[in-house]
Amino acid sequence: MHVKVENINFSYTELPVLQNVSFQIQSGTITGLIGSNGSGKTTMLKIMIKKLTPSSGNILVNQSPVSTLSNTNHPFAFVPDTPVYYEELTVLEHLQFVKALYPQNPLSIQGLIKQLELQKHLHKIPCALSKGNLQKLMIALALLRQYEIFLADEPFTGLDPRQLHIFKQILQKLTHQHKAILISTHLLDLAEAICGRFVFLHNGQVLAEGSKEEITAQYHVSDAVSLEELYLHLTDRCTSDTVKP
Ligand SMILES: Nc1ncnc2c1ncn2[C@@H]1O[C@H](COP(=O)(O)OP(=O)(O)OP(=O)(O)O)[C@@H](O)[C@H]1O
């Protein structure tokens, strides 16, 4: 599975939010989508799942534009930054509902409940959950879908240290299953630990893309820097909208 984002432009109002955004994500790799508040990460992810329509540009999945894929053949699972749920359904009912939609997904509800430690919360409705447990429900619902591409918008928010560890293991397992993974996050230490590639978005444009080694080489920065130092260095250098190597 190969996803190519090509020259995406998007505006909510007259101001451009994304300008000629292009990058790629690949099977078996976790790509970190990194950028300051308001740089357009959520907007980009929403365009990828067809929730928003770009004014121009394409998202190609194995060379087919996502706009031509039917909703029943949609290859994305998505963990949103703002939880989406049915107010009147319990945690267990949510899991059963999505499982019934995607029976071919081999993950079992019981296995997920145990792994994400949701046992004590099965009969609660979402608004009775803590932030972290609600986030775990969003992750569980995404994992139960039928997908090849896993997109997550700040998925680590609210997770306790044990659940962070478990979620990192889940993501590693997805790479072994050759899923393509794109995660937006502000946690650069965590991103550096789990992501093989990065897309730095800055003011709605791609500032850099590639592995840390590729980006440091491209910008003539020592490869001993941390991802955080690299990101701060490139964004500091950015006096106009783009930085040239
Ligand atoms: N529904 C909307 N209507 C108008 N403007 C919007 C809307 N949603 C987002 N924006 C604007 O689009 C820009 C990009 O927002 P977006 O949420 O994609 O950024 P982000 O990188 O995900 O930010 P954060 O890191 O704070 O979550 C911001 O300037 C934001 O104010």
Kindly state the average pLDDT of the residues 109-125. 96
Q: Take atom 9 of ligand 1 and give the residue whose Cα is closest.
A: 43
Q: Could you report the per-residue pLDDT of 163-200, keeping only the tens digit for each? A: 999 999 999 999 999 999 999 999 999 999 999 999 99
Q: Take atom 7 of ligand 1 and give the residue whose Cα is closest.
A: 12
| 41 in contact with ligand 1, CB cutoff 6 A | yes
**pTM surpassing 0.90?**
yes
The residues of the chain that CATH labels 3.40.50.300 are 2-75+147-242
Which token pair is 39? 């740089």
Q: Could you report the per-residue pLDDT of 58-103, keeping only the tens digit for each? A: 999 999 998 888 777 789 999 999 999 999 999 999 999 999 999 9
Beta strand segments in 98-233, E: 149-153, 180-184, 197-202, 205-210
* Cα separations in angstroms, 160 against 34, 39, 114, 166, 193: 22, 27, 16, 10, 17
pLDDT reading at 243 higher than 70: no
Q: Which ligand 1 atom is nearest residue 39's CA?
A: 21
Q: Take atom 2 of ligand 1 and give the residue whose Cα is closest.
A: 12
Which of 12, 82, 201 for a ligand 1 pocket mutation test, highest count of atoms within 8 Å of Cβ? Answer: 12
| 15 in contact with ligand 1, CB cutoff 6 A | no
Class of domain 2-75+147-242: alpha beta
Confidence bin at 245 (pLDDT 50/70/90): low
| 203 in contact with ligand 1, CB cutoff 6 A | no
pLDDT reading at 241 higher than 80: no
pLDDT reading at 242 higher than 70: no
| 37 in contact with ligand 1, CB cutoff 6 A | yes
Asked if the interface predicted TM-score (ipTM) of this complex is over 0.90, the answer is: yes
φ, ψ dihedrals at 47, nearest 5°: -70, -40
Ligand 1 midpoint to CA 194 (Å): 25
Q: Could you report the per-residue pLDDT of 5-17, keeping only the tens digit for each? A: 999 999 999 899 9
Confidence bin at 112 (pLDDT 50/70/90): very high
**Which percentage of the chain shows pLDDT scores above 90?**
88
pLDDT reading at 141 higher than 70: yes
Kindly state the average pLDDT of the residues 219-245. 81
Size (the chain), residues: 245
